[in-house]
C-alpha cells in the first residue's frame, strides 16, 4: 500500500467519522448529566432532513445547516422535557423520538416534495468539509476541558452522579439535564447536517443508517469522556473508510459483509465494554 | 408525620432530638433545613441551617474538594480555581479537626471519613445551625469521640448543633438539652441535667422497655467451621467456628469484610479455604430492601421467598393454603403488625417488615443463622422482639453468626465476640467478658 493511499484512507476516515463523533459528543453530554440518550439516531435524522429541506427552499446550505442544528436541538429539548418534567422512561422516550423522526422525515418527503424516499438535490457545502471536521475535534477537546475544569462542567457531572446532592448544593438538576439534552440534540443534529449537506447533497430515508447507535457505542466505549468517545468514533470512521477502500478489491469477500463491518465492530466493542465500564451513577434515573 | 411541633436550637448549644424510628425526626430535620415543606407553620432562622444526612448524600465519583465546593466554586476567569479550592478544604479541615485529602475520590473513602467530607461540605457554607441526622450510626467508638470533639469546636465558634440520635449514651454525654419526639409529637423537652435516662427512654417508646430473655448457658458441639477463608479483595485468611447454641458476635467498622464473610457463608460469593456448615440455614440480610424482600409483593409471597419448598405440594406446585398458614404463623409469633397478610409489604413500617424477615429466617428452626445488622433502623419495640427471638433460637440450639455495627447489640446477645478489621480477625473475647475500649481499638486496628 502506498503512502498516498494510506493518507487518503485516513482522510476518508476523518470525514466518515465526523458525524459519529459529533453525535457521540452529544451523547456524552446528556449521559453525564444523567439522561440516557438513545435518541441520537432520531436527532441526526431530524437534523439531516431539516437541513436538506431548508437548504432546498432558501438555496443557502449554511442557513440549512443552522436550521438542521436548531431542529436537532429542539428534538433534544423534547427528549429532555419528557424525561425531566414528565418523568417518562428515558429509553421509551428515546425510542419514541427515533420512530417519530424517521417516520416524520419519510412523511415530510411525500408531503413537501411529493416523492418517497429521497429529496431532490439541494445546495450543499461539499467543498468545505474540513472546517467541520476540525471543528468536531476541537469541540471534543473543549468539552473534555469544560467538563473537568469549569463550574458548569462540575455541576453537570454532579447531576449525572447524584442529582439529590446537586440539588442540596443549590443546583437545579432538571434544568441542567434539560439543557444538556438540548445541546446533545444540537450536536447530533450537526452530525446529521454533515451527512446531508456535507457528504451528500440530499436527504434520503435510512441515510443515517444506525450512526446514532454507533455514536452511542462510542460514548460507552469511550467511557463517557468526550475525547474517548471522539477517538472511538474516528475508529468507526476508519472502519467505514476501509469498507469503501476494500469494496470490489477482495473478490471472495461479499460486499455485504464489508458494509456490516462498522456495526459488527460496534457490537464487539460493546460486548467487551459491558460490565467493565461504569456509566454515570444516576444515568437513566428520573429525578426527583 | 408531624403534629404541631415546636423546636428551637440556640447558638452554641448541643440539642439532642431523640425518638424511635418513624417518630418524625428526619422529617423535622428536612423541614428545618428547607429540603421538605410543612403543611402549616414556619421556620425562623438566623443564617443558614445545614443538614448532614444519615445516609451521606455525597457524590461518590467526585473527589473531596469537588464535593465541598459544588455550587459555590472558586473561580479564575471561566474555570474553577482548583488550588484555592484545595487550600480552602485543607484550612476548613484544620480549623475543625476534620483532616481529609482534598484530592481523594469519595468512593475510596471509609465511612468515617465520608462523614467528615459531608461535615466539611456543610461547614463550607457557614451555617449558623448544623443538624446531624444519626451521625454515629456507622462510626467506631474512636470516631464517635472524634466527631463529638469536632462538634465541641463548632459550638465554641457559636454554631448551634442539633443531633438526631437514638443512642442515649451520646445524649447524656454531650447534649445540653434533649427533645423527645414520639409519633410526630413533642412529648418531652428539658435540659439534660433535669432528666434521667430512664425518663427519656420511657418518653421515647411511651411505656416500659421490653425485656429480653436471660442468657442461659449452653454446651453444644461445633457445627460451623470456617478455615483459612480468603475472598479476594476483602478477606484474607480468616478462621472461625460456632457451636450449637452459641451466638458469635462479629464487631467491626462497616466495610471491613463483614459482607464478604456473610456472603461466603451463605454461598453467595466464591472463596478459597473451607467452610463446613449445616445445610439448613436462616439468613437475615444486611439490607432489607435490597436483599431480603420485594416491597411490592404481599406478606405471604415475601414469607415464601427462599423457602418455597416449605410450602410446596408435590414437587412443583405451591400450596397456597399452606403458604398462608405459614405466613400467619410468622405474623403471630413475631408480632408483625399488619392489616392483612395479603397487603403489599411496602405498606408496613420498617420494623414490621424486618420482623417478617427475621420470622422467615427463624420459623423453620434452622441449625445455623446469619444475622447481619438484624435491628438496623427499627424501633425499640421491634428490636426487643428480634433480640428475644434470636436468643430463643440460640437456646433451642441454633448456631448464630451475629454481625452488627452496634456494640450494644453485640454485648447484649453474644456469647463470644470476634473483632474484624481489614478482612481479618484481630481479637476474640470469650465468656461474655467484653471490653468496650479494647474492642473499639481493635476495630480500627490501632
Looking at residue B14, its pLDDT comes to 92
pLDDT reported for residue B207: 72
**B79/A170 Cβ within 8 A:** no
Q: What is the mean pLDDT of residues A138-162?
A: 95
pLDDT of residue A268: 86
User: How high is the pLDDT of residue B310?
Assistant: 74
- Complex ipTM > 0.85: yes
**CA distance to partner chain B, nearest, from residue A269 (Å):** 24
Instruction: Give the pLDDT score at B56.
Output: 65
Q: What's the average model confidence in pLDDT over B255-283?
A: 87
pLDDT at residue number B4? 82
Q: How far apart are alpha carbons A89 and A282 in whole angstroms?
A: 13
pLDDT at A143 over 70: yes
Could you tell me which residue, B114 or A269, shows the higher pLDDT? B114
Q: At A35, is the secondary structure helix, strand, or coil?
A: coil
DSSP B207-236: SPPPP----------EEEEEEEEEETTTEE
Q: Please identify among residues 118-157 of chain B the ones whose CB lies closer than 8 Å to any CB of chain A.
A: 121
Q: How confident is the model at residue B211 (pLDDT cuts 50, 70, 90)?
A: low
Mean pLDDT, chain B, whole residue set: 85
Rg (CA), chain A: 19
CB A166 within 8 A of CB A175: no
Query: What are the phi and psi torsion angles at B369 (to 5°)?
Result: -125, 130
What is the rounded CA–CA span in Å between residue B188 and residue B180?
A: 5
- Which residue intervals of chain A are DSSP H helices? 3-33, 40-58, 61-84, 90-108, 129-149, 151-161, 163-168, 173-193, 211-221, 226-246, 255-273
Q: What residue has cell string 409471597?
A: B301
Q: For residues B63 and B102, is the Cβ–Cβ distance under 8 A? A: yes
Q: Do A157 and B57 touch (CB under 8 A)?
A: no
Which three cell numbers mark A275?
460490565
Look at residue A72 in the predicted model and tell me its pLDDT: 97
> For the packed helices A211-221 and A255-273, what is the interaxial angle rounded to 10 degrees?
30
Instruction: Give B3-43 pLDDT, tens digit per residue.
Output: 788 888 888 899 999 887 667 788 888 888 887 888 888 88
Residue B215 has pLDDT above 70, yes or no: no
As to burial, measured by CB atoms within 10 angstroms (0-12 exposed, 13-18 middle, 19+ buried), residue A225 is middle
Is the pLDDT confidence value at A87 over 60?
Answer: yes
pLDDT 10s digits, B336-360? 887 888 888 888 777 788 888 988 8
Distance from CA of A120 to the nearest CA of B (A): 46
User: Which of A20-24, A126-130, B130-134 is predicted with the least confidence, judged by mean pLDDT?
Assistant: A126-130
Strands in B13-126 per DSSP E: 14-18, 48-52, 75-76, 79-80
Hey, do B14-205 and B210-280+365-446 end up sharing a CATH topology, with the first three levels equal?
A: yes
The answer, for B55 touching chain A at a CB cutoff of 8 Å, is no
- Tell whether B173 lies on the interface with A, counting CB pairs under 8 A: no
- In chain B, which residues have their Cβ closer than 8 Å to the Cβ of A165? 57-59, 67, 70
How far away is chain B from the Cα of A99, in angstroms, using its nearest Cα? 33
pLDDT of res. B210: 65
Domains and CATH numbers, chain A: 3-273 (1.10.3470)
pLDDT computed for residue B22 by the predictor: 67
Contacts of B172 (CB under 8 A, 6+ apart): B192, B197
C-alpha cell at B348: 408496613
- Whether the CB-CB separation of B27 and B109 falls below 8 Å is answered with no
* Chain B residues within an 8 Å CB radius of A171: 70-71
Q: In this complex, do A281 and B61 lie within 8 Å of one another by their Cβ atoms?
A: yes
A175 touches chain B (CB under 8 A): no
Q: Please, which residues bridge with residue B346 across strands?
A: none
pLDDT tier for residue A25 given thresholds of 50, 70 and 90? very high
Instruction: Using CB atoms, pick whichever of A149, A150, A169 lies closest to residue B70.
Output: A169
Whole-angstrom Cα distance, residue A108 to residue A116? 9
Q: What is the rounded CA–CA span in Å between residue A67 and residue A61?
A: 10
| DSSP-assigned letter for residue A38 | T
Residue B14 and residue B66: Cα distance in Å, rounded? 29
CATH, domain range B210-280+365-446: 3.40.50.300
Region B180-203: mean pLDDT is: 86
Using CA atoms, how far apart are residues A159 and B104, in angstroms rounded to an integer?
Answer: 20
What is the count of residue pairs from A and B with beta carbons less than 8 Å apart?
53
The alpha carbon of B109 is separated from its chain's Cα centroid by a whole number of angstroms, namely: 18
C-alpha span between B135 and B45 (Å, rounded): 22
Say if A150 is an interface residue toward chain B (CB within 8 Å): yes
User: Are residues A161 and B72, on separate chains, in Cβ contact within 8 Å?
Assistant: no
Tell which residue, A194, A192, A144, has the closest CA to residue A40. Answer: A192
Rounded to a whole number of angstroms, the distance from the CA of A285 to the nearest CA of chain B is 15
Domain coordinates of chain B in residue numbers?
14-205, 210-280+365-446, 292-363
Residue B370: predicted pLDDT: 92
Second CATH level (architecture) for the domain B14-205: 3-Layer(aba) Sandwich (3.40)
User: What share of chain B in percent tops pLDDT 70?
Assistant: 95
Q: State how far the alpha carbon of B413 is from the alpha carbons of A50, B211, B277, B362, B416, in Å.
A: 72, 13, 21, 16, 9
H/E segment holding residue B397: none
Comparing CB atoms, the residue among A151, A158, A171 nearest residue B62 is A158
Does the pLDDT of residue B234 top 90, yes or no? no
CB B250 within 8 A of CB B420: yes
Residue A226 binned pLDDT confidence (cut-offs 50, 70, 90): very high
Give B146's Cβ-side CA count (13 Å radius): 15
Grid coordinates belonging to B141:
467508638
- Three-state SS at A172: coil
Whether B70 contacts chain A with CB within 8 A? yes
Contacts of A158 in chain B (CB under 8 A): 59, 62, 66, 70
What is the distance of C-alpha B427 from the center of its chain? 23
Beta strand pairing status for B75-76 and B160-165?
A: unpaired
Q: How far is A152 from chain B (nearest CA, A)?
A: 9
- The residue of A153, A154, A223 whose CB has the most chain B CBs within 10 angstroms, and thus the best one to mutate to test that interface, is A154
Q: Model confidence over B54-81: pLDDT tens digits? A: 766 899 999 999 999 999 999 998 899 9
DSSP A118: B
Instruction: Give the gap in angstroms from C-alpha B189 to the nearest C-alpha of chain A.
Output: 30
Amino acid at each position: 500500500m502506498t503512502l498516498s493511499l494510506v493518507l487518503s484512507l485516513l482522510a476518508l476516515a476523518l470525514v466518515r467519522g465526523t458525524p459519529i463523533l459529533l453525535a457521540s459528543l452529544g451523547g456524552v453530554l446528556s449521559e453525564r448529566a444523567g439522561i440516557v440518550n438513545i435518541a441520537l439516531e432520531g436527532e441526526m435524522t431530524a437534523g439531516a432532513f431539516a437541513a436538506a429541506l431548508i437548504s432546498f427552499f432558501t438555496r443557502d446550505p449554511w442557513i440549512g445547516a443552522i436550521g438542521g442544528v436548531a431542529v436537532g436541538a429542539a428534538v433534544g429539548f423534547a427528549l429532555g422535557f419528557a424525561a425531566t418534567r414528565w418523568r417518562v422512561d428515558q429509553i421509551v422516550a428515546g425510542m419514541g423520538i427515533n420512530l417519530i423522526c424517521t417516520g416524520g422525515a419519510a412523511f415530510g418527503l411525500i408531503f413537501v416534495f411529493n416523492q418517497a424516499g429521497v429529496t431532490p438535490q439541494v445546495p450543499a457545502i461539499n467543498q468545505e468539509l474540513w472546517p467541520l471536521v476540525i471543528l468536531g475535534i476541537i469541540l471534543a477537546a473543549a468539552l473534555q476541558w469544560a467538563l473537568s475544569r469549569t463550574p458548569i462542567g462540575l455541576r453537570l457531572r454532579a447531576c449525572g452522579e447524584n442529582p439529590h446532592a446537586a440539588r442540596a448544593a443549590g443546583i437545579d438538576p432538571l434544568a441542567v439535564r434539560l439543557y444538556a439534552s438540548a445541546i446533545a440534540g444540537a450536536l447530533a443534529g450537526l452530525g446529521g447536517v454533515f451527512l446531508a449537506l456535507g457528504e451528500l447533497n440530499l436527504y434520503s430515508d435510512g441515510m443515517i443508517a444506525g450512526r446514532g447507535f454507533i455514536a452511542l457505542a462510542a460514548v460507552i466505549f469511550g467511557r463517557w469522556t468526550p475525547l474517548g468517545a471522539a477517538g472511538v468514533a474516528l475508529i468507526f470512521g476508519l472502519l467505514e473508510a476501509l469498507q469503501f477502500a476494500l469494496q470490489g478489491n477482495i473478490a471472495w469477500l461479499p460486499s455485504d459483509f464489508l458494509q456490516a463491518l462498522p456495526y459488527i465492530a460496534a457490537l464487539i466493542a460493546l460486548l467487551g465494554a459491558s460490565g467493565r465500564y461504569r456509566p454515570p451513577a444516576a444515568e437513566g434515573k428520573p429525578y426527583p | 408525620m408531624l403534629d404541631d411541633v415546636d423546636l428551637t436550637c440556640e447558638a452554641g448549644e448541643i440539642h439532642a432530638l431523640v425518638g424511635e424510628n418513624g417518630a418524625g425526626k428526619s422529617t423535622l430535620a428536612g423541614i428545618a433545613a428547607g429540603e421538605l415543606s410543612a403543611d402549616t407553620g414556619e421556620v425562623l432562622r438566623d443564617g443558614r441551617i445545614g443538614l448532614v444526612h444519615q445516609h451521606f448524600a455525597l457524590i461518590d465519583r467526585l473527589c473531596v474538594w469537588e464535593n465541598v465546593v459544588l455550587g459555590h466554586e472558586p473561580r479564575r476567569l471561566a474555570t474553577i480555581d482548583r488550588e484555592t479550592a484545595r487550600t480552602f478544604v485543607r484550612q476548613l479541615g484544620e480549623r475543625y479537626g476534620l483532616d481529609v485529602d482534598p484530592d481523594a475520590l469519595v468512593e475510596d473513602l471509609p465511612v468515617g471519613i465520608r462523614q467528615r467530607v459531608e461535615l466539611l461540605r456543610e461547614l463550607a457554607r457557614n451555617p449558623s445551625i448544623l443538624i446531624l441526622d444519626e451521625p454515629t450510626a456507622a462510626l467506631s467508638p474512636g470516631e464517635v469521640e472524634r466527631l463529638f470533639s469536632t462538634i465541641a469546636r463548632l459550638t465554641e465558634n457559636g454554631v448551634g448543633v442539633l443531633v438526631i440520635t437514638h443512642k442515649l449514651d451520646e445524649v447524656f454525654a454531650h447534649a445540653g438539652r434533649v427533645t423527645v419526639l414520639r409519633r410526630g409529637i413533642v412529648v418531652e423537652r428539658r435540659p439534660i441535667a433535669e432528666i434521667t435516662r430512664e425518663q427519656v427512654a420511657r418518653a421515647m417508646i411511651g411505656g416500659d422497655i421490653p425485656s429480653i430473655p436471660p442468657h442461659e448457658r449452653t454446651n453444644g458441639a461445633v457445627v460451623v467451621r470456617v478455615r483459612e477463608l480468603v475472598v479476594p479483595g476483602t478477606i484474607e485468611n480468616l478462621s472461625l467456628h460456632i457451636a450449637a447454641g452459641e451466638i458469635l458476635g462479629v464487631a467491626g467498622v462497616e466495610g471491613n469484610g463483614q459482607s464478604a464473610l456473610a456472603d461466603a457463608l451463605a454461598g453467595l460469593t466464591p472463596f478459597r479455604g473451607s467452610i463446613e456448615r449445616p445445610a439448613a440455614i436462616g439468613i437475615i440480610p444486611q439490607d432489607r430492601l435490597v436483599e431480603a424482600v420485594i416491597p411490592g409483593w404481599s406478606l405471604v409471597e415475601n414469607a415464601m421467598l427462599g423457602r418455597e419448598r416449605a410450602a410446596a405440594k408435590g414437587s412443583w406446585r405451591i400450596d397456597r393454603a399452606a403458604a398462608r398458614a405459614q405466613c400467619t404463623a410468622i405474623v403471630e409469633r413475631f408480632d408483625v403488625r399488619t392489616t392483612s397478610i395479603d397487603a403489599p409489604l411496602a405498606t408496613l413500617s420498617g420494623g414490621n417488615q424486618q420482623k417478617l424477615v427475621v420470622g422467615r429466617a427463624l420459623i423453620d428452626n434452622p441449625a445455623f443463622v446469619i444475622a447481619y445488622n438484624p435491628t438496623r433502623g427499627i424501633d425499640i419495640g421491634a428490636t426487643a422482639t428480634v433480640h428475644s427471638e434470636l436468643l430463643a433460637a440460640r437456646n433451642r440450639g441454633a448456631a448464630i453468626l451475629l454481625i452488627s455495627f452496634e456494640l450494644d447489640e453485640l454485648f447484649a446477645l453474644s456469647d463470644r465476640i470476634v473483632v474484624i478489621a481489614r478482612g481479618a480477625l484481630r481479637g476474640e473475647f470469650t465468656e461474655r467478658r467484653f471490653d468496650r475500649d479494647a474492642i473499639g481499638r481493635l476495630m480500627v486496628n490501632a
